[in-house]
Amino acid sequence: MINLPSPRGSHWRRRAAGIAIGVLLPIAAIAADAPPAALSLDAVIARAVQMAPSQRIAEESVALARAQQDASRASLLPQLGVSASQLRQTTNPATLGFEFPGLPSLIGPYSVFDARIKLSQKLLDFAASAELDSAQFAARAAEAQSEASREAIASRAALAYIQVLGSEEMLASAQADLGLAHDLLTLSRDQREAGIASGVDVARAETAVAQDRYAVSEAETTIAQARLQLQRLAVLPMDQPLQLSGTLDHAAGVELDAAHALQVATRQRPELAAIDASIRQADAELAAAKRRRLPTLSLVADYGLSSNTPGTNDEDTYRYGATIDLPLYAGGAIKAQQDAAQHRLEQQRIQLEDLRQQIEQDVRLAIATAATTREQVRAATAARELAERELELARDRFSNGVADNVDVIRAQTSLARARAQAIAAQAAYQQARVNLAAAQGQARQFKL
C-alpha cells in the first residue's frame, strides 16, 4: 500500500491522478489485448440453443399456441359487456298493427336512448369444450416441437464444432508436413554440396515443398469455412477470432446396445411427444366436429336505462333468461368438418408409425457408424505410427548416403496420408457419437 502525503493543494491532486492513470492505463491495455477465451462445446451448444433464430421462432410458436388456448378457454367463461345508443327515429304504426281512425300514418321523429350491461354464460357447449381440449394438446405439441428444435440445433452445433476441430488438426498436420518438406529440402541441398545427392533430389524436394504449401493453403480455406459455419449456427460475431477448447482424440466410450438405445430414444425423443400431442389434438378436433350436432344452453341477462334522452322519461329495464340452440341443417358443413378431422387424425397416426421407424433407423445407423468409425480410428492410429517409423528409417538412409530421397518423399507422403486419415477417422467417430446422442434425444448432453 502506498501512503501519499496529505495533499493541501492542487499539485498533489494532479500528482495522485497521474499515478492512478499510469497504473490503470496499462491494465486496460492488457485487458483490451487479451485473447478471447476458448469456447467449450457446452458453451457453444448453450448459446446456439438460446440464440438461434429457428429456436426463437419455435418459442414464438409455443406462445402462439398458448394464446390460442386462452382464446378457446375464454369462450366458456362469463361474457360481460356494456352498450349505449342514442337514436333519432320515426315509426310507421301500420307496420306494428296499429290502424284506427285518428292515428297518424307516421309517428315521430322522437329520440330513443338505451344503455345497459349485458351478461352471458354458456352452461352446455360440448363442441367448445372439445375445442379447448384440442387447443391444450396443440400447445403441448408446440412445446414438444420446440424441444425437438433445441435438440436439432444442439446436434448441428456439435457437428459444426467437431468440423472446426478436425479442420484445425488438418491444418496443423499440413503445416507439420510442410515443415518436414522444408527439412528434407535443406538436407537435400546439403547432401548435394557434399556430393552425395544430385540436383534431381533437390528438385524433387522443392516439388514436395510446393505441394505441401498448396495443402496448407487448402486447409486454411477449409478451416475458415468451418469456423464461419459454427459462428453462424451459434450466432457468434463473425469478425472476431474463434478459439475452441475441445479435442478430437479424447473420446469417451459409447454404449452400442441397440435395444437399450431404442428404449432411451422412445422415452426422450421430443418428436414422439410432439406427434402424440398432435394425435390427441386431432382426436379432440374430431370430437368437437361430432358434438356440433348437440344443443348448446346459455344464460343471458341485461340491465340498463331506457329513455328518450339520458335525462328524459328514463326507466330501468332488464331481461334475463336462458337460450338453447340446436342445429338442424347446416348445408353439410358439420359432416364436412367431421370428415376433415377424421382425415387429419389418420394423417397423424401414419406419421407416428413413420416416425417410429425413422427413430429406429437413426439409432441403428448411428450405432453401426460408431462401431465402424471406432475401428477406423484404431487402424488409422496404427498406420500413422508405422508411417512415422518408415519416415525415420528413410531419412536415416538418405542422410547416410545409402539411398536417394525418393523413399523419404514417399514416406512423407504416406505419413501425410496417415495423419489425414487418423484425423478424419477421429472426426467421423465423434460425429457418429453426436448422431447417436441425437437419435436418443440427448444431443444437448453430448460431451467430447
Residue 314's CB is within 10 A of a number of other CB atoms, namely 14
pLDDT for residue 255 is more than 80: no
Average of per-residue pLDDT values in the chain = 87
Distance of CA 232 to the CA centre of its chain: 12
Q: Is residue 365 part of a domain?
A: yes
Residue 372: pLDDT above 50? yes
Give the pLDDT confidence of 202-245 residue by residue, as tens digits. Answer: 898 899 899 999 999 999 999 999 999 999 999 999 888 888 88
Over the stretch 108-151, which tens digit does the pLDDT of each residue have? 899 999 999 999 999 999 999 999 999 999 999 999 999 999 99
Question: Can you give the pLDDT at residue 36?
Answer: 61
Grid coordinates belonging to 340 = 376433415
Neighbours of 166 (CB within 10 A): 21
- Among candidates 288, 283, 271, 289, which has minimal Cα distance to 347? 283
441: alpha, beta or left? (left if phi > 0; alpha if psi -120 to 50): left
Cβ proximity of 295 and 124 under 8 Å: yes
Q: Which three cell numbers stand for residue 207?
A: 516439388
125 within 8 A of 48, measured Cβ to Cβ: no
**CB within 8 A of 12, min separation 6: which ones?**
4, 5
* Average pLDDT over every residue of 259-269: 92
Q: What's the confidence (pLDDT) of residue 6?
A: 41
Is there a domain that residue 82 lies in? no
Residue 430 lies in a domain: yes
pLDDT of 8: 40
Q: How far apart are CA 201 and CA 223, in angstroms?
A: 33
Distance CA(124)–CA(381), nearest Å, equals 73
Q: Does residue 102 lie within any of the structural domains?
A: no
| DSSP at 37 | P
Name the DSSP class of 108: E
Helices (DSSP H) in 241-332: which residue ranges?
258-268, 270-291
* Cβ-contact 412, 181 below 8 angstroms: yes
Cα distances (angstroms) measured from residue 223 to each of 73, 217, 229: 54, 10, 10
In a domain, 118, yes or no: no
Q: Quote the domain boundaries for residue 174.
A: 38-77+124-294+333-445
Residue 92 within a domain: no
Strand partners, 296: 325
Q: How far apart are CA 56 and CA 150, in angstroms?
A: 10
Domain membership flag for residue 100: no
What pLDDT was estimated at residue 250? 63
Domain for residue 43, yes or no? Answer: yes
What is the spatial distance between Cα 319 and Cα 302, in angstroms, rounded to a whole number?
Answer: 5
| C-alpha cell at position 140 | 403441448
Q: Cβ(233)–Cβ(49) under 8 Å?
A: no
Q: Is the pLDDT of residue 26 over 70?
A: no
For the chain, how many residues are written? 448
Kindly indicate the confidence band of residue 384, based on its pLDDT and cuts at 50, 70 and 90: very high
Proportion of the chain above pLDDT 70, given as a percent: 91
Helix (H, G, I), strand (E, B) or coil at 309: strand
Q: Where residue 98 falls among pLDDT bands split at 50, 70, 90?
A: confident
Q: What percent of the chain has pLDDT over 90?
A: 66
Per DSSP, the residues of 170-201 read HHHHHHHHHHHHHHHHHHHHHHHHTTSS-HHH
- List of residues 6+ apart from 366 with CB closer than 8 A: 261, 432, 435, 436, 438, 439
From 153, 192, 174, select the one nearest 270 (Cα to Cα).
Answer: 153
pTM, two decimals, is: 0.80
Cα–Cα–Cα angle for 42, 44, 46, rounded to 5 degrees: 65
d(CA 299, CA 301): 7
Residue 252: band (very low, low, confident or very high) from pLDDT cuts 50, 70, 90: low
Overall domain count for the chain: 1
pLDDT band for position 94 (50/70/90)?
confident
We report the CATH number of the domain holding residue 252 as: 1.20.1600.10
